[in-house]
Amino acid sequence: MSPDGTNKILARWRQTGKWWECEPPIEVTRYLDHKNIRRESTTTLPILARPTQLKRYQPQENHKEDYSIRPRKRRDETVSVAMGHIKETATLQPKLIAETPYVPLHTLSGYSFGRSILLANEIPRLAAIAGLPAVAIVDRFSLTGAFELAKECAKQGIKPLIGASFELPEGGDIVLIARTSLGYKNLSRLITDCHLGEPRLHPLTTWHRLQTCNQDLICLTGGSIGPLDRLLIRRDYPAANALVQKLKSLYGPQNLFIEVERTFLPWERETEPRLRELAAHHNLKCVAAYPITHRRPQHFPAQDILACTETLSLVDEIIGRKPRRHESQPQPILPPLRALNAERYFRTSPEMHTLYQDAPHLLANTLLIADLCDDNVLPGRTELPPVTENPNQMLREVTYAGMHEWHRHVTPPLKARIDRELDRIISLGYANHFLVAWDMCQWASEKNIQFSGRGSVVDAAVAFCLGFSRIDAFTHNLHFERFLPPDGTKHPDIDIDFEAKRRDDVRNYLIHKYGQDHVATVAAIGSYRVRGIIREVGKALALPDPLIGFLAKKVHGSVNPESLYEALQKRPELRDSKISRERFQWVFKLAENLQDVPRNMRAHSSGVVISQTPIADTVPVMWSGSGDDQDSYLRIIQWDKRSAKHCYVKFDILCLRGQDVLSGTESRLRQSDPTFRVSKLETDDPTIYAAMRSHQTVGIPQSASPAMTQAHARIRTQNLKDASLVQAGIRPGVGGAVKLNTLIARRNGEKYSLSDPGLEKIVGDTYGIVVFQEQIDQLLEHFVGYSGGEAEETREKIHEKRHHNYGETIADSLRRRIIERGHTPEIAEEVLQLIIGFKGYGFAQGHALAFAEISARSVYCQQNFPAEYFAALLDAQPAGYYGPATLVNEARIRGLQVLPVDVNLSHDHVLVEDIRADDPTLIIPRGGIRLDLGLVHGLSRQTLHRIIESPRPFATFFDFVTRIRPRRDELEQLILCGALDSLHPHRRAMLWSINAAFQHARTILESDHTLPFAHPDPPIPTDIPDLNLAERLLAERNVLGLDIYQHLLAYERARIKAKGGITATEARQLPHGAKAFIVGNPIRLRMPPTPSGKRVVFFDLEDETGLMNVTCFDDTYQKFGHSIILSRFATVIGEIQRREDYPAFIAHSVHPYHPLLFADSQTNRTPAKTADFLVG
């Protein structure tokens, strides 16, 4: 009955309100009234009142500041700014220092991983809003955010305090803040010891480590998460007294402060008097501080859910399932990471003074600590270790030697350019920098490792002579000032691409040469993105795994957390997926606050720093990597590349999979021709560029995308220079600075004029369009009168501050200077439009040439050595725009026979084999490629190596199982993909015999003193039907990710043709405006933004004859988006559009296609598809 006794109760439950804002809970009763009508009633329940003594803690001020300020990463701005979608954000104006300020001393950022949702560069903004004079960042065992904090503090005009938190062996965190640069060095060394001296991901300090690095550090006892408070909670007063005495002896009474926290925890009223007593007894000062983890109380749910994901706990659990410490470390009882309430937010001065109004001296001591610390404790730049005693002389010697080796005739202009570059390099003190890179490349060359320079270093003729660039800057007349301005305002950036599979060898060489204490890898910091947030939050909220996976797959990369609700209504692929907004509302609410919060730290793919002094003196070093033992881990610094550049000369040991493709091709060809070298191939062969013009670029690194293919056809590429125009025009992507359509039109005959000879010299070769970054520098130098350094700095600012329209803000100044130098206003305006208009992302000319050169060599190898090339290409995956399925299809189209995985023949790399033609007496040399065992999904490296290393061939199916002993799932995969067909042709029979095979293997293993033939193979069933064609094809596609013999649509061709459908190849031959329908596999979907804001979807439709580029405008996308994105095969109805004779297919409608081949199969459904998106 209901509370009044007259109604029938159906259900009763309680709903919590915004409890972090003290909103009371409500009780909901659902009942049937006396008329049998279902109704609900709600009752507000009483909230537990805070102690009366704590009423003084409540702020009296109604704050209206915007605490949602969060500097977003600019990963999407390249796209959005170019389309005009980003609005200019107002520059934050710091308030005047508050009348009664304080300093937050225990602020944690997201770099404490799971303990805070604050960003390091967000903290100074919060402090500026609150009118605070200084702020500290004290991340757990980390100085990752030090430079980010200091840089933003400088902008806001407040003082940065750099520190870290350390967990003691007995539990509890203390806070150490650097007073001086020596204190910072001790912090860095201490953090390094805590990481490298402990198992990976489990840093821990010891009293010995604290004692060895204790100079110039201020110590705080840590508040409620500190060891002192924990002892007092347990009422272990002697141990608490001993702890204070130990810390006092380490840091001195003037540097030790007792942290007094007031965040409404139940034990505070008992521990605070004890803390004050201890401070008085030891003649120490108390200070007001507490761990700050989020901005305002309303942001606490995001912080709490982050703690859940870090500890692997559900929202209704306190202790998570993730071990807090390694099994080899002390195992005290540790308090939960999840906070009891929402009070650890960033408070303003009035709020803090209300909170501590009975103890204002505690706040005054925060200012005292800030005054004790130097204004800048961060380290300066380090030096490289010397390669030789006289680096200047050695650089000249090796450069001149390379000049004579690479140039047949050394002309006076060439010698003059080399000398000019060498003089500048030496005068600016960078000789050692070049020698380190040269030495690294010399070693790589001796080890037959493919490499080549990229980026602005290619603009240096010295780089070509030293051998780490394959582009001759002198011949191409590249602009050296782009790489190294004469005023030294820019450090040389030497980027070199090595083979991906050999990059670790190069890194290990540097470690061996200079010592492991002087070489480390730069960190890469991963942050939460949409799918990761959905998965982690869903797990914490105890949503079922299938449901989480369903939602994560449907929300693809072009949907941001801020637009999830909107996307569910506007995106057809989401709208038609029946995702319940109500069910996922908390996932969506939390997603926005978790966006960009750091999630993990790993080794950067390429960045390496080298220092003459130990790296740990400058930045903490920690473990990163994967493997079963500590020896396989990498040492990484705790800074990403943005922070590392402040102190280190960074070398980018980059990898370009195109180098692996060329290396793999070369190694296969050298088996028959030991003199073959990819580096000796000529890049001026006309057949190379004929292939580029004729759309034959599938599988070509740096040139395979539809946009690149279309650009080569439209621009009618004739040579390497033309290919570089395509690279610079297309590869920067949406938001790129090059006006490629205008360039193509002018190249194809559109009239244009340049009003000054200087313009003709600078942009004449690019048809009056700025294509390369160097051209902006040259315009600024020639017309404005800037030095090389000023020009480069201005160009970078125009790009970096494009969302603030920086170019327009300096336009008047530039115009005035151009006119003052004797040019007419008309010329000034023309120059200005060229400079200001190039504000998107662009390439250096040398960089574009370097990528074009790799593409050119790849095209040559593909055209002349197809088997070797495609074998190398498949080995190097992922290597380019398309995946293995498309590449195998292309190999078949080019006449190669694709041979299946075979445990008797396959290796860990793709093999090139001779094949028999239709005439059995005729052998086609090198006419086929044998797929490798590594393609078998789920096959472990250990099993793969046992197969390769075992004596082959295997005699029977049972012989294979006995000798290799694969796992059951591995054996099933090998059977399903046909890898055991040479042992027995009946796949279903082998599946049925797995148990017998394992029993047979155990029998032989247990009777190792008997001969093998004493145990004959068990019989394999013969009375069961084998897998039909559809089941075989699907199994091969599922296990290998590709079709072996034919594309699946080849089996559907007769049916499609009977209905009037055509192939992709036939569609490419149709005239402009011709209507048709094509059936294919939609792959490589792109959704770049448009000026109108409408969606345009581009994708490739793949069938057995190749690819057709398809465009779907917004109307078509809104109607058929679900079919486009989620259909394994699709029927596309539309018409051909030709642009400079390049064909594209404009879709009018798209419908799922259900292959007849699978209609009668027990496995009647093709694998579920999640679109492989390329966003932007």
Find, among 731, 654, 526, the residue nearest to 73 by Cα: 526
Query: What integer pLDDT is reported at residue 69 of this predicted model?
Result: 45
More reliable by pLDDT, 564 or 152: 152
Answer whether residue 102 shows pLDDT above 90: yes
Query: What integer pLDDT is reported at residue 258 of this predicted model?
Result: 96
Alpha-carbon separation of residue 417 from 413, 479, 846 (angstroms):
6, 11, 16
Homologous superfamily (CATH) of 1048-1174 is Nucleic acid-binding proteins (2.40.50.140)
More reliable by pLDDT, 578 or 601: 601
If you average pLDDT over residues 446-475, what whole number do you get?
Answer: 90
If you average pLDDT over residues 737-760, what whole number do you get?
Answer: 84
Query: What integer pLDDT is reported at residue 709 of this predicted model?
Result: 87
Answer whether residue 70 shows pLDDT above 50: no
pLDDT in tens, 1033-1047: 888 988 998 889 888
If you average pLDDT over residues 652-673, what whole number do you get?
Answer: 88
- Strand 173-178 with 217-220, pairing: antiparallel
Query: What integer pLDDT is reported at residue 51 of this predicted model?
Result: 35
From the candidate CATH numbers 3.40.449.10, 3.30.1900.20, 3.40.50.300, 2.30.30.30, the one assigned to the domain spanning 391-525+602-655? 3.30.1900.20
Rounded Cα gap, residues 471 and 765, in angstroms: 18
Rounded Cα gap, residues 188 and 619, in angstroms: 5
Rounded Cα gap, residues 293 and 303, in angstroms: 7
Q: What is the amino acid identity at position 197? A: G
For tokens 């706040």, what's the residue? 363
Name the percent of the chain lying above pLDDT 90.
37
Query: What integer pLDDT is reported at residue 82 of this predicted model?
Result: 34
More reliable by pLDDT, 573 or 596: 596
Name the percent of the chain lying above pLDDT 70.
86
pLDDT in tens, 481-517: 888 888 877 788 888 888 888 888 898 899 999 998 9
Answer whether residue 579 shows pLDDT above 90: no
The DSSP output letter for 782 is: I
C-alpha torsion sign, points 888, 893, 895, 900: positive
Rounded Cα gap, residues 587 and 203, in angstroms: 31
- Given pLDDT bands bounded at 50, 70 and 90, which one contains residue 22? low
More reliable by pLDDT, 71 or 1107: 1107
Look up residue 704 and give its two tokens. Answer: 């395979």
- Given pLDDT bands bounded at 50, 70 and 90, which one contains residue 16? low
Answer whether residue 244 shows pLDDT above 50: yes
From the candidate CATH numbers 1.10.10.10, 3.20.20.140, 3.70.10.10, 3.90.1150.10, the one assigned to the domain spanning 99-372? 3.20.20.140
Query: What integer pLDDT is reported at residue 556 of this predicted model?
Result: 58
Q: Where are the alpha helices (DSSP H) in 936-1028?
A: 941-949, 957-964, 968-976, 987-992, 994-1006
Plot region of 790 (φ>0 → left; ψ -120 to 50 → alpha; else → beta): alpha
Is residue 519 within 8 A of residue 511, CB to CB? The reply is yes
Mean of per-residue pLDDT scores for the chain: 84
Question: Looking at 281-290, 640-649, 737-746, 842-851, which range is the least confident one?
Answer: 737-746
pLDDT in tens, 291-300: 999 999 989 9
pLDDT in tens, 373-402: 999 999 988 888 888 889 999 999 999 999
- Given pLDDT bands bounded at 50, 70 and 90, which one contains residue 74? very low
SS3 content of the chain, % helix, strand, coil (to 5): 45, 15, 40
Q: What is the amino acid identity at position 850? A: A
Query: What integer pLDDT is reported at residue 930 of this predicted model?
Result: 93
How many C-alpha atoms does 289 have within 13 Å on its Cβ side?
A: 33
pLDDT in tens, 516-548: 899 999 998 888 877 778 888 888 888 888 777
Query: What integer pLDDT is reported at residue 857 of this predicted model?
Result: 92
pLDDT in tens, 87-101: 333 334 444 566 678
Rounded Cα gap, residues 1145 and 170, in angstroms: 68
What is the DSSP annotation of 1010-1022?
S-GGGSPPPPPP-
- Given pLDDT bands bounded at 50, 70 and 90, which one contains residue 21? low
How many C-alpha atoms does 798 have within 13 Å on its Cβ side?
A: 27
More reliable by pLDDT, 967 or 1172: 967
Long-range residue pairs from 1085-1089, CB within 8 A, at least 24 positions apart, any chain: 1085/1124, 1085/1125, 1085/1171, 1085/1172, 1085/1173, 1085/1174, 1086/1173, 1086/1174, 1086/1175, 1086/1176, 1087/558, 1087/1173, 1087/1175, 1088/79, 1088/734, 1088/1176, 1089/79, 1089/80, 1089/83, 1089/85, 1089/734, 1089/1176
Answer whether residue 475 shows pLDDT above 80: yes
